[in-house]
Amino acid sequence: MDDATLIAQVQAGNDHANRFLIEKYKNLIWHMVVRMVDQTEDAEDLCQEIFLRVFRDIGKFRGESKLSTWIGAIAYNMSISYLRRKGKNIMVSVDDYLPEASQKPAVESADEAIDKSSMKKIVHRVIDSLPVQYRTVITLFYLEELSYKEIEEITGMPDGTIKSYLNRGRQAIREGVLQLVPDMRPELTGTR
């Protein structure tokens, strides 16, 4: 079902179209929200609010962008509003970001074996500690596999900013992982 047909059916009050729209876009919204908001109970409520807004405003969709990016933009703006309401500082620069510097390293000694899944958990810990814009851009690019243009439409950030967030975010993740797994550092310092 293409976007125009889906929108027409939703506006006509077709239950199956409503269900189809939710099923089609719930993962996009959930991934964005859970990475941005970071609290699962609130995240699910926020997802519902986002969908209710989508159903309310779907008549305003003019087809100038893809439906997915229009829905993504609603999810992004509502998540940012939610964070502002909660008093979270959303404009933190990655230069000010210290990847869990005060925490103990995840691995104490080089003898301690660290498997792939543990390493991934460490990577996710570092991602969760990144500023919200970085998490959003990284999620949309890597997880949702959206193009720069689509990310631009969702977040309203210029192309250059998105690329910069991706590069600096990735760099920050690498540094964060090395900080949490110090036994990797001596071997890697020569290449950095």
Residues at the contact surface with other proteins, assessed by CB under 8 A: 13, 15, 18-19, 22-23, 26-27, 30-31, 34-35, 40, 43-44, 47-48, 51-52, 55-56, 116, 119-120, 123-124, 127, 138, 142-143, 170, 173-174, 177, 184, 187-188, 190-191
Distance of closest approach, residue 48 Cβ to other proteins, in angstroms: 5
Nearer Cβ to other proteins, position 19 or 84? 19
Nearer Cβ to other proteins, position 48 or 93? 48
CB atoms < 10 A from the CB of 129, how many? 19
What spatial distance separates the first Cα and last Cα of the chain, rounded to whole Å?
49
Distance of closest approach, residue 34 Cβ to other proteins, in angstroms: 5
Q: How far apart are CA 131 and CA 152, in angstroms?
A: 18
Distance of closest approach, residue 40 Cβ to other proteins, in angstroms: 5
Task: Please tell me the total number of residues recorded for the chain in this structure.
Answer: 192
Nearer Cβ to other proteins, position 27 or 81? 27
Nearer Cβ to other proteins, position 27 or 103? 27
The tokens describing 184, both together, are 């990797």
The tokens describing 39, both together, are 């609290």
What are the Cα distances from residue 52, in Å, to 8, 29, 58, 62, 181?
17, 12, 10, 18, 43
Burial of residue 62 (CB within 10 Å: 0-12, 13-18, 19+) is exposed
Nearer Cβ to other proteins, position 64 or 141? 141
Distance of closest approach, residue 81 Cβ to other proteins, in angstroms: 20
